[in-house]
Structure 1
Amino acid sequence: MRADAETDGYRALGRKLSNWGRWGPDDELGTINLITPERRAAAAALVSSGLSFGLGLPLGADGPQTGESGRQNPLHLMTRTVDDPPHPTGFHYFDDALFVHLQASTQLDGLAHVGYDGQLYNGVPVTAVTRAGAARLGVQHLATALTGRGVLLDIPRLLGRRLGRSEEISAALLERAAREQRVAIGAGDLLFIRTGWIARITEEHDRRGFFATEPGLALDTASWLADRDVAFVASDNWGVEATPARGGDEMPLHCVLIRDVGMPLGEMLDLEAVAAHAASIGRWEFFASCAALEVVGGVGSVLTPIVTF
């Protein structure tokens, strides 16, 4: 399938790759339909050592947000403390609350998160998203569905360096990484892409530098992913794709993958430890579980990704 992003633009590319109607006119799962029970069972068989890695950033006041986008870091409050009197029997309990922007940290972009030209995935009108939430394509449909075979493609290890500002990862580079890591990408896979950009947050504590730009996937990777029936893509940057995009378009890969292909995206994962382990054992596939909050009508969610070897 030809996908000349420079010539056709992202709208034409989206029409070529569209999954609208593939799973019926009322579908709200998109490419997550590709993670069948049989594929999940096969993925579970990948577990041998039982060693697990959490890929999420901590939820706290020291999170990545600067407040400039309107998103704030999570606010954790104690609602019952030692200052509250115990029961006459001496029993004491404590309670707390968390106030969180659903896309403030390690996160899931749901299918109602992005649209263009008045439509969301599967032809749902953008008017389905109101102040009450998403009447269609809510993130609750994906909350427990993101489990299956995970594959990590480690681009910095391939290149011998961390990727720089706005640096693009092309389809050819993804193919080279898969070939040199000796791993095949297949239908229903959860694909994790390491750029090394998360170190801006976890090591350098440079929030503004982190969000000012980012390396990531080029637009031509949409065809590469769609041709392999990948179910889900997640990365260690804040928006999966290289930003700013060529030509001045606003998040064109988001537009194609979420709105046209029906593929949810994962962002701001910490892939450093799992990448080091995978390289040490020479194995880049594992069982992956990316649990989201079952927020009815949510367009995104805090994500808790865990992978197990």
Structure 2
Amino acid sequence: MDSGRRWKRRPEGANWGDFGADDQIGRMNLLTPERRLAGAAEIREGLAFTLSLPLDLPGWGKGTEFRRPPRLFATTSHDGQAMYNLPIGFGTDNPRGVVCDDGVILCTQYSTQWDSLAHMGMRFDADDDGIEEIVYYNGYRAGEAIIAPEGDQPPVARALGIENLATAGVQGRAVVVSLVEAFGPGRTWVGHADLQRAMADQGCVVREGDFLLLHTGFDDALIAARGEADPRAMDQVGAVLDGRDPALRDWVRDCGLIAICADNIGVEGFGFADCSAGCDHSMAPLHDLCLFKLGIHLGEMWRTGELSRWLLKEGRSACFLTAPPLRLPGAVGSPVTPVATV
């Protein structure tokens, strides 16, 4: 491999190696101290908006989906008692203290989440030998860096795991675009021209090093359903980015944004079964572009509605965002409780 790199050929339009041969955070490298200060300048009122759904939403996944809702359980004491309303005391027969202690089993990407750069890879001839291998951002390999479970051994991302994002200092300027304001609450496929029109109407300008936050109304519908949302009906709620549009993909590549976060599932639309627009992948072309080629993190199912409506009312479009994931080594995704300050 040239210069110790894991690849001889990188995908067309990719930035592999631009941030170093061993880079694992991609475009987050653009989040400099100066850009954090620029983001902090968006704080004028000191108001904070929590951008996380309750982690038991969307509410489906109860035996039918591969991602399941979180399940709490009580930890147990040394003598096997459930540590919930458990009297505790040392050196006394009549303890007055009481303790509760619990754990949780959860799917890291069930609700409000970050995708790590290990979430989506591709088969690609990175060795330039005519044979496609499974690779991820910056040429990290399946079987070497991204290890599938085997027997009693759990899966692990030895590279590109979510802990790399956790230590990247995820704070900066975020631009918020209301797609529901521009296109209404129904399903609309939003290409480059549509997005640019909506941004111009709302005074949104994306600078290098910015986060892009989208509000589609999907979060409002989930909250209103109170855990009883029909996933098939939700497929028709809210605008979605059309990753098939080459102009949109070019804009994402060129504008300098470091992450795209939306209140829906997937950021982009799904449901098409061809590559007629020249996409590398038939299901999720923006995932391929962002996670695989450019190292742009994706945030899904964020609660952006309240923030978006406030900004629109005030004639503003930007805020200061703080959104570190869990520092969970080896995971390919993470719950997140983002906070926007205006």
TM-score (norm: length of structure 2): 0.80
Q: Which has the larger radius of gyration?
A: 2
Tell me the equivalent position of 1:147: 171
* 1:124 lines up with 2:151 in the alignment: no
Higher-helix-fraction structure: 1
Return the letter of the residue paired with 1:97: G
Instruction: Give the drift of 1:172.
Output: 1.2
Q: C-alpha separation between the residues in 2 aligned to 1:69 and 1:257?
A: 25
Q: C-alpha separation between the residues in 1 aligned to 2:87 and 2:97?
A: 9
Q: C-alpha separation between the residues in 1 aligned to 2:297 and 2:58?
A: 26
Q: 2:203 aligns with which of 151, 172, 182?
A: 182
Tell me the equivalent position of 2:128: none
Residues 80-110 of structure 1: per-residue CA shift (max 9 Å, x gap): 222x223135222221112111111101110
Q: C-alpha separation between the residues in 2 aligned to 1:121 and 1:304?
A: 25
Q: C-alpha separation between the residues in 1 aligned to 2:236 and 2:274?
A: 15
Return the letter of the residue paired with 1:43: G
Q: C-alpha separation between the residues in 1 aligned to 2:321 and 2:337?
A: 11
Q: C-alpha separation between the residues in 1 aligned to 2:24 and 2:11?
A: 19
Q: Secondary structure at the match of 1:23?
A: coil
Tell me the equivalent position of 1:81: 84
Q: Secondary structure at the match of 1:301?
A: strand
Counterparts in 2 of 1:115 and 1:213: CA distance versus 1, 3 Å: farther
Name the count of aligned residue pairs.
Answer: 292
Q: C-alpha separation between the residues in 1 aligned to 2:211 and 2:63?
A: 30
Q: Structure 2: give runs of 5+ residues left out of the alignment.
A: 1-9, 76-82, 124-133, 150-154, 276-281
Q: Secondary structure at the match of 1:85?
A: strand
Tell me the equivalent position of 1:172: 193
Residues 274-301 of structure 1: per-residue CA shift (max 9 Å, x gap): 1111111111100001120011011111
Q: 1:286 aligns with which of 319, 324, 327?
A: 319
Answer with 235-244 or 201-210: which moved more. 201-210
* 1:209 lines up with 2:209 in the alignment: no
* 1:92 lines up with 2:110 in the alignment: no
What percentage of aligned pairs have identical amino acids?
Answer: 32
Q: 2:269 aligns with which of 242, 245, 253?
A: 242
Tell me the equivalent position of 2:117: 111
Instruction: Give the drift of 1:62.
Output: 7.1
* 1:269 lines up with 2:326 in the alignment: no
Instruction: Give the drift of 1:307.
Output: 0.3
Q: C-alpha separation between the residues in 1 aligned to 2:57 and 2:193?
A: 39
TM-score (norm: length of structure 1): 0.88
* 1:156 lines up with 2:156 in the alignment: no
**Contact 1:17-1:223 within 8 A present in 2 as well:** no
Tell me the equivalent position of 1:30: 26
**Contact 2:186-2:236 within 8 A present in 1 as well:** no
CA RMSD of aligned residues (A): 2.0
